[in-house]
Amino acid sequence: MSDLSQKDIAKRALGLVDLTNLNDDCTEADVSALTSRTVTDHGSVAAVCIWPKFVAQAVRELSGTGVKVATVVNFPAGGTETTAVVAETKKAIEDGADEIDLVMPYRGFMEGRKGFAEEQIIRVKEVIPAPAKLKVILETGEIKDPLLIHLASEIAIGAGADFIKTSTGKVPVNATLEAAEIMLTAIEEARRDHQKDVGFKPAGGIRTVDDAAAYLALADKIMGHNWVSASTFRFGASGLLDALIGEIEGSGATAGEGY
């Protein structure tokens, strides 16, 4: 899979983590606990991903660290009316969010309302000023059909996504290597055919160094070995960081429960 050792893989993956708490019972204290873990002895994670109401707090606590603040909109069901999603996005940007993770209205998309899904992504993108980023969550475990996952990827990319993301972490099937391969292929096609650079974020259920290694190997295979960086690839995870640090330090720590 890779010539790198497990420790090397862990070092590579650490800076790609979006350290996440999207638990329904998340508190201000939980967010502080999360932000306190972002800068480690082995480097910083890429971002924290938290509920919109905690964005301003996270921005304050991470000031000067270089760690981005990501939040979610239209989350997790992907069914909110577009005007409300745009308003939610504007508020998050005003509060200082660097990245918006938007759940594509995937149920409407699956019912054939592709234009509705596309328009919502376009309208959300319009209110996200550079250098802030838009990540579009496809919810591939609910879409299931490989052709529809590919089409959803194409629509999101065409509508302005800076990243496409597998999952919310809130459904029975979240990130899978099968969905990742389809999405990365769509990203490579966009790069080849339209000179458009789009990132990839697997999220939900990624908890071990072996999990991380498998996704990194797939990205290297499809996109090339020099493609993966924090600007193009993220892991959405809560428990992965402990496993990575445990591997780097040789303590054998395992990942915690969670997203």
Does residue 123 carry a pLDDT above 60?
A: yes
Catalytic residue status for 101: yes
What is the residue whose two structure tokens read 């974020």?
A: 201
Structure tokens at 58: 């996270």
Please tell me the chain's helix, strand, coil percentages from 3-state DSSP, rounded to the nearest 5: 45, 15, 40
Yes or no: say if 137 and 160 are a contact pair by the CB < 8 Å rule.
Answer: no
Q: What is the pLDDT of residue 1?
A: 44
Instruction: Select which of 68, 133, 135, 201 is catalytic.
Output: 201
pLDDT of 20 strictly over 60 = yes
Q: Is 170 a catalytic residue?
A: no
Q: What angle do CA 42, 239, 134 make, to 5 degrees?
A: 85
Does 259 have pLDDT greater than 70?
A: no
Amino acid in the structure at residue 14 = L
Q: What residues does 136 pair with on adjacent strands?
A: 102, 164
* Mean pLDDT, rounded, for 104-119: 97
Mean pLDDT taken over the chain: 95
Residue 94 CB-density burial (10 A; 0-12 exposed, 13-18 middle, 19+ buried)? exposed
Q: Which ranges constitute the DSSP H helices of the chain?
A: 6-14, 28-35, 55-61, 82-94, 106-110, 114-126, 140-143, 146-158, 177-194, 209-223, 240-249
* Secondary structure letter of residue 54 according to DSSP: G
Helix (H, G, I), strand (E, B) or coil at 72: strand
Q: Which domains does the chain have, with CATH numbers?
A: 6-249 (3.20.20.70)
255 has a pLDDT exceeding 50 = no
Give yes or no for residue 131 having a pLDDT over 90.
yes
- Distance (Å, whole) CA 252 – CA 234: 23
Q: What is the pLDDT of residue 208?
A: 97
**Does residue 178 carry a pLDDT above 60?**
yes
**Residue 220: phi, psi to the nearest 5?**
-60, -40
Work out the number of other CB atoms within 10 angstroms of the CB of residue 155: 21
Query: Given 98, 101, 162, 211, which residue is catalytic?
Result: 101
pLDDT exceeds 60 at position 254: no
Q: Coil, strand or helix: which one is 142?
A: helix
Categorize the per-residue pLDDT at 256 as very low, low, confident or very high, splitting at 50, 70 and 90.
very low
Phi, psi of 192 (to 5 degrees): -70, -45
- Residue 165: active-site member: yes
pLDDT in tens, 22-36: 999 999 999 999 999
Contact, 73 vs 89, CB < 8 A? Answer: yes
On the question of pLDDT at 124 being above 60, the answer is yes
252 three-state secondary structure: coil
Where residue 251 falls among pLDDT bands split at 50, 70, 90?
Answer: confident
- Parallel/antiparallel/unpaired status of strands 39-40 and 43-44: antiparallel
Is residue 258 over pLDDT 80? no
